[in-house]
């Protein structure tokens, strides 16, 4: 894991420049820690280190939790260089706003009306899309370089953007992939997403398509001809045709040279252009999983079919089933569609909530596929079709430990709400305002230090006309901080510093001290090979606190503790390391509750049972029993 992986330099022209632009010469991979597997057919595939060689004859789909820069470097180290057939990414748009995941408390329809319409909605910041322009360019530059390394020579990448930065990213992709490998700018009609007072409503997104080389796979997307179009076509011994350059009518033999005749294949349908208004919008209906930037499955279906081989065709030609990668997996649409179309897939996200949403979505998809396979098995055998392997297993890996990243973002958002800070969207250094004061929130992963104070002092030197005082928000502080601040305030009639230490402040204290969720679970053997698991109680202090922050009228009481539970997962043979999902309870509707009682078959002699309960904000509680 200590070896440097050499990266091919980008040599395309023209080149975009920005402050801090730095080419990527080498990268280092990180250990991938197996966290969880989903293996509903009990194939007992457990691959601790998912190298290409280990997966060659024992493929399982892969879901990585971590910074995608680290994950992409790790994939190179694991042997995936030149192995990915299709990449689709939907990265942050640098839109200068946060994206919010709305979390619905289960089963509280009437309860909502008692307090207010939004009381059961918890807003959780999934990721912050606020970048300095130079930082955004470097962020995308590094990842696009790594993604090119992973593509096969015949591979294709689609980058989903907005008009805010697509022109910049195209220049960066020209440099990395080469202008000759630019193929399309697809215009996806996404539905109106609102606008400011001085701009038109946004109704579309651009999607850039580039290939790795000039030798690429391309299945021209088609759509069926309408009944009217078919009716208007003419037909001769060669087939259906239409004419251009004259009236649509029967042609005599001597007239045919005067008109351009175009023959059409009714079965294949007509080729589409780059204007896609027929593959759904942000209005997703049944597909919706409460993820703001979720894309429709029909969009991904067209992309995957256009740029990968049909699995049956690939197998007949002695090739691997195509492999699809999305390193900004979000709500899991790319993986879900790849799974439905029989392709292999790899997903990645830095956000734990995105990993959980994707895992839940894929579990449902795979279980439905298994059910359909069983129902259609006899018919398939009669038709003697080639059996395409269904990859029904996936594993979740962690690359580096990024739990604190989510907690940091969430904690900052909570602090802003609780203290009443007004966000500063345009200030690159300070986080907002509290009254007339500028506010700086210190990273909650470490206490306030003299270095943090020095950075504030340096920033103020750049603003000689700044006369506002400064409020610093932190979780704790070093002992040297108070004397330094005391001396500073004596010498400065303006820019005085005040500290809000959230752990001890009389007004704001005791708010962000994390209290983990707790569960009371009873497990008893009911027969030689059966066990009854009952969740007797569950409490998430975070959810209750969030509800009471949003609702100022009175303390919220949740009538059924199961309203706080999103998912229950059970492993009947837990090995203290990897959690293998043997049973999952994921309610279909938001208004449904988890069952809470489960009678499950277990090994007859001894068993170690693990019950994982995930609350509506993604916090996990693990209870382990030996029976």
Q: Which helix (H) or strand (E) holds 115?
A: helix 109-115
Closest listed residue to residue 67, CA positions, set 293, 327, 324 = 327
Edge-to-edge strand order for the sheet containing 470-474? 422-423, 432-434, 437-441, 470-474, 497-501
Tens digits of per-residue pLDDT, 229-281? 888 888 888 888 887 654 445 555 555 555 567 888 888 889 899 999 999 88
**What 3-state DSSP class applies to 610?**
strand
Q: What is the overall mean pLDDT for the chain?
A: 85
Distance between CA atoms of 219 and 156, rounded to whole angstroms?
12
Tens digits of per-residue pLDDT, 337-357? 999 999 999 999 988 888 989
Q: What band does 114 get if pLDDT is binned at 50, 70 and 90?
A: very low
Res. 582: pLDDT tops 70 = yes
Region of residue 351 (left: phi > 0; alpha: psi -120 to 50; beta: else)? beta
- Between 257-266, 333-342, 477-486, 538-547, the lowest mean confidence (pLDDT) is in 257-266
Closest listed residue to residue 80, CA positions, set 18, 26, 150, 177 = 150
Res. 109: pLDDT tops 60 = no
Q: How many beta carbons lie within 10 A of that of residue 282, not counting itself? A: 15
Res. 547: pLDDT tops 80 = no
Tell me what pLDDT residue 12 has: 82
Q: What band does 313 get if pLDDT is binned at 50, 70 and 90?
A: very high
Q: Determine how β-strand 323-326 pairs with β-strand 344-349.
A: parallel
Q: What band does 372 get if pLDDT is binned at 50, 70 and 90?
A: confident
Tens digits of per-residue pLDDT, 455-467? 999 999 999 999 9
Q: Which helix (H) or strand (E) holds 408?
A: helix 403-419
Tell me what pLDDT residue 443 has: 83
Closest listed residue to residue 181, CA positions, set 201, 208, 206, 160 = 208
- Between 435-439, 571-575, 602-606, 611-615, the lowest mean confidence (pLDDT) is in 602-606
More confident residue, 278 or 96: 278
Quick check: 456 and 470 in contact, CB under 8 A?
yes
**In sequence order, what are the beta bridge partners of 68?**
none
Cβ within 8 Å of residue 547, ≥6 positions away: 105, 119, 120, 122, 556, 558
Tens digits of per-residue pLDDT, 184-236? 999 999 987 666 668 888 899 999 999 999 999 999 999 999 888 888 888 88
More confident residue, 286 or 492: 492
Res. 327: pLDDT tops 90 = yes
């Amino acid at each position: 894991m200590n070896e440097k992986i050499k990266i091919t330099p980008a040599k395309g022209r023209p080149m975009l420049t920005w402050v801090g632009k730095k080419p990527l010469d080498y990268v280092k991979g990180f250990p991938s820690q197996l966290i969880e597997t989903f293996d509903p057919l009990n194939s007992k595939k457990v691959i601790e280190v998912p190298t290409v060689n280990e997966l060659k004859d024992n493929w399982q789909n892969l879901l990585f939790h971590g910074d995608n820069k680290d994950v992409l470097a790790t994939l190179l180290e694991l042997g995936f260089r030149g192995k990915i057939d299709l990449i689709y990414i939907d990265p942050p748009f640098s839109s200068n706003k946060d994206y919010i995941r709305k979390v619905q408390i289960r089963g509280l329809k009437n309860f909502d009306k008692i307090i207010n319409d939004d009381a059961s909605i918890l807003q959780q910041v999934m990721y912050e899309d606020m970048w300095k322009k130079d930082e955004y360019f470097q962020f995308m530059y590094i990842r696009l370089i790594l993604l090119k390394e992973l593509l096969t020579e015949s591979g294709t990448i689609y980058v989903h953007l907005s008009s805010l930065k697509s022109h910049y990213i195209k220049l960066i992709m020209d440099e990395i992939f080469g202008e000759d490998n630019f193929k399309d700018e697809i215009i996806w009609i996404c539905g109106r997403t609102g606008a400011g007072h001085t701009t038109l409503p946004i109704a579309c997104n651009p999607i850039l398509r580039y290939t790795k080389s000039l030798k690429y796979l391309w299945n021209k997307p088609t759509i069926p001809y309408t009944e009217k179009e078919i009716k208007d076509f003419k037909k001769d011994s060669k087939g259906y045709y239409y004419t251009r350059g004259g009236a649509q009518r029967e042609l005599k033999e001597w007239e045919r040279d005067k008109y351009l005749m175009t023959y059409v294949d009714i079965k294949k349908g007509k080729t589409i252009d780059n204007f896609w208004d027929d593959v759904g919008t942000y209005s997703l209906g049944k597909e919706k999983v409460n993820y703001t930037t979720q894309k429709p499955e029909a969009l991904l279906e067209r992309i995957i079919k256009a740029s990968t081989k049909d699995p049956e065709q690939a197998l007949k030609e002695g090739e691997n089933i195509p492999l699809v990668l999305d390193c900004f997996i979000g709500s899991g649409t790319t993986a879900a569609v790849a799974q439905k179309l029989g392709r292999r897939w790899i997903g990645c996200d830095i956000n734990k909530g995105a990993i959980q949403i994707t895992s839940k979505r894929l579990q449902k998809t795979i279980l439905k596929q298994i059910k359909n396979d069983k129902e259609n098995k006899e018919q398939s055998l009669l038709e003697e079709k080639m059996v395409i392997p269904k990859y029904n297993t996936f594993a979740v890996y962690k690359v580096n430990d990024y739990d604190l990243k989510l907690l940091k973002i969430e904690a900052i958002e909570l602090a802003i709400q609780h203290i009443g800070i007004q966000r500063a969207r345009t200030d690159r250094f300070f986080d907002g305002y509290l009254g007339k004061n500028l506010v700086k929130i210190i990273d909650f992963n470490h206490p306030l230090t003299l270095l943090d104070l020095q950075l504030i002092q340096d920033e103020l030197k750049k603003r000689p006309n700044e006369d506002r005082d400064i409020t610093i928000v932190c979780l704790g502080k070093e002992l040297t901080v108070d004397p330094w601040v005391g001396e500073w305030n004596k010498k400065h009639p303006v820019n005085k510093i005040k500290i809000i230490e959230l752990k001890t402040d009389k007004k704001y204290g005791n708010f962000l001290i994390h209290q983990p969720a707790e569960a009371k679970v009873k497990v008893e053997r009911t027969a030689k090979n059966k066990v009854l698991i009952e969740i007797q109680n569950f409490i998430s202090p975070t959810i209750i606190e969030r509800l009471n922050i949003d609702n100022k009228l009175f303390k919220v009481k949740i009538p059924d503790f199961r309203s706080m539970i999103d998912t229950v997962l059970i492993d009947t043979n837990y090995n203290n390391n990897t959690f293998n999902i043997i049973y999952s309870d994921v309610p279909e509707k938001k208004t449904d509750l988890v069952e809470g009682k489960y009678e499950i078959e277990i090994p007859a002699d001894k068993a170690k049972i693990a019950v994982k309960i995930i609350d509506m904000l993604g916090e996990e509680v693990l209870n382990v029993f030996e029976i």
